[in-house]
Structure formats: structure tokens, C-alpha cells
Amino acid sequence: MSRTSDNGNLIPFKTPEELEIERLLRESHAKQNQIAELTLALEDLKLEVNRFETEYNAVLGKLYVELDKVNLEINEYTLRIQLIEREAMVNQAKIDDRVEEAFKKERQKVFEYERKAARDSQEFEHLKSKPEIDAATAKQLRKLYLKLAKIYHPDKAQTNAERQKNERMMSLINRAYEEKDAQTLQRLIESAKENEEILNETLHQKLKRLRTEHKRLDEVIADLKAEIENIKASGSYKLKTTVEQARKRGEDILAKLAKDISRKIDAGRGRLKDLMRRFRRLAKLLRFA
């Protein structure tokens, strides 16, 4: 169907289905942009929390490990004394075996914490050595990331194989964004092909697909917003916020925590020395030192 314009040209009428398709396409495009923005906001939050946790563990991790070691030795010598006093065990080898068995899991945990603290310390030094980027580069990175997130968001996939591919791509995109690698992001943009149209669709099929897509995009947006709120409600994010606010006031909460842990370590070492002296006296008394 068509109508005649003032100058005599024919203007085709659009059917209700065609008008609905145009509306859904506009809204879907807006929702895809919103999803890209939310994905970027979520990634930025994750990076912020990760950097803070890396700094936190780098500053305090080794101290916590040292405190765990001291407390573990305190518990070991406490058990040694109990084995002598309560069980009248006077065999040094048997005492060592009992202590080894009792604290085997705790020793493994301390060892794993120590390795993690070392890794975090290296990662923190790496983060500190990264050069700061200017506002123009930051804007470019954001623009590239938004384009790629719109194309490769896993929830945009139609099949499991496509979802797996998109998840791999988003992992690469997130890593490039974290590393401030604009060149890689640009290369991904140039190689990307966004297939929004499906050939040989009837108007009815297209309308049905777009309505389903419309609903799914709303679900994706809701999930992203929920994930963002979950991060903001986490202990790490709240502590990060507290530390940043304190720094603006000229306070260093992490330094204060480090001093507090150091005091606990010193107190623990004093208690450990007392326990070791007590054990040696008992061992000497029972003649197996």
C-alpha cells in the first residue's frame, strides 16, 4: 500500500508489523549499548577490587603469614607440653610424630598462604611499574571496549558454541583492557563482524525473534546490575572505599593495620619463647632433650 505526497510521489505505507519491528530494533540497539556500558562498569569494578586486594595482600600478606607461622609454632609447643604433662610421653620421636600429624593441614595452609603472598607482592610491584595513561588514551580504550562488549557479550550468543567463543573473546578483551592494550582492542574491532540480520526471515519470524531478543536483553541488563551491586556490597569493595576515603583525609589504614599485626607477631614470639623454655625444662627433667 502507498499514498501520494504533495509533489505527486508515492509514499509506501508501513504495516503495523513493520512499525513494531522498527521500534524493537531501536530499543534493542539502546539495550545493547546499555549492556556494553554495564559490562564496562562491571569490568572496571572488578579491576578496582582486584588491584586493591593485590595491594592489601602485598602490604599485609607477608605479615599475616608470619603471624600464622608464630601461632602455629605456639600451638605445636603447647601440644608438646601437653603430651609430656598429661600423657607422660617422654619419647622425643613420638612427640614429633604426634605434632607433625596434628598440624599437617595447618602447615600446608600456611605454605599456600606464603606462596600467594609472594605472588601478590610481585603482582603489586608490576602494577606500580605500569605507566599512567593520558585522558585521550583512556577515552579511546573505553570506546574500543564498549564496541567489543556489544559484539561479543556471551549473552548475545544464539548457540552454545557461539557462547563459548564469545566467552573466550571477552576474556581476551578484558585482559587487553586491563593491560591498556589499545592496539589489540583495535585489531579485534577491525576483525569483528556483527551479524544482526538473519536472511530469508519473514516479517512474522523477524518480529517474533526481536520480541524474544528484547526480553532476553532485559534479563541480561538485570543480571549485570545485580552483579555490580553484589561487588559493591562485598567486604573487599567496602574496605577499598574506606581506605580511599581515609587517604583523602591523610590517613593510611593499611599502614595502621600493618603496625597492629606486627605488634601481634612480637607478642606471639614472646609467648613462643616462654613455651619453648618450658618445654626444654620438662625435656631436661625427663632426660630426653
The C-alpha cell 607482592 sits at 121
In tens, the pLDDT along 155-166 reads: 777 788 888 888
Comparing 134-138, 174-178, 195-199, 269-273, the range with the smallest average pLDDT is: 195-199
Between 179 and 233, the more confident residue is: 233
So what's the pLDDT on residue 196?
47
3-class DSSP string for the chain: CEEECCCCCEEECCCHHHHHHHHHHHHHHHHHHHHHHHHHHHHHHHHHHHHHHHHHHHHHHHHHHHHHHHHHHHHHHHHHHHHHHCCCCCCHHHHHHHHHHHCHHHHHHHHHHHHHHHHHHHHHHHHHHCCCCCHHHHHHHHHHHHHHHHHHCHHHCCCHHHHHHHHHHHHHHHHHHHCCCHHHHHHHHHHCCCCCCCCCCCHHHHHHHHHHHHHHHHHHHHHHHHHHHHHHCCHHHHHHHHHHHHHHCCCCHHHHHHHHHHHHHHHHHHHHHHHHHHHHHHHHHCCCC
So what's the pLDDT on residue 194?
47
Is the per-residue pLDDT at 269 higher than 60?
Answer: yes
- Share of residues in the chain with pLDDT > 90 (%): 36
So what's the pLDDT on residue 203?
83
- Share of residues in the chain with pLDDT > 70 (%): 89
So what's the pLDDT on residue 195?
45
In tens, the pLDDT along 64-94 reads: 999 999 999 999 999 999 998 887 777 888 8
Query: Which own/partner pairs from 7-12 qualify as long-range (CB within 8 Å, at least 24 positions apart)?
Result: none
So what's the pLDDT on residue 6?
53
Question: Largest alpha-carbon pair distance within the chain?
Answer: 119
pLDDT bracket for residue 288 (50, 70, 90): low
Q: What is the mean pLDDT of residues 209-235?
A: 90
So what's the pLDDT on residue 193?
52
So what's the pLDDT on residue 133?
75
pLDDT bracket for residue 118 (50, 70, 90): confident
**What values do phi and psi take at 245, rounded to 5?**
-65, -40
Cell representation of residue 140:
579511546
CA 87 to centroid of chain Cα atoms: 49
So what's the pLDDT on residue 1?
47
Is the per-residue pLDDT at 139 higher than 70?
Answer: yes
So what's the pLDDT on residue 12?
64
pLDDT bracket for residue 49 (50, 70, 90): very high
Nearest Cα to Cα of residue 117 among 176, 64, 153: 64
Classify residue 277 as exposed, middle or buried by CB count within 10 Å of its CB (0-12, 13-18, 19+). exposed
Is the per-residue pLDDT at 3 higher than 70?
Answer: no
Q: What is the mean pLDDT of residues 34-59?
A: 88
Comparing 2-11, 26-35, 194-203, 207-216, the range with the smallest average pLDDT is: 2-11
Is the per-residue pLDDT at 211 higher than 70?
Answer: yes
Is the per-residue pLDDT at 191 higher than 60?
Answer: yes
So what's the pLDDT on residue 131?
66
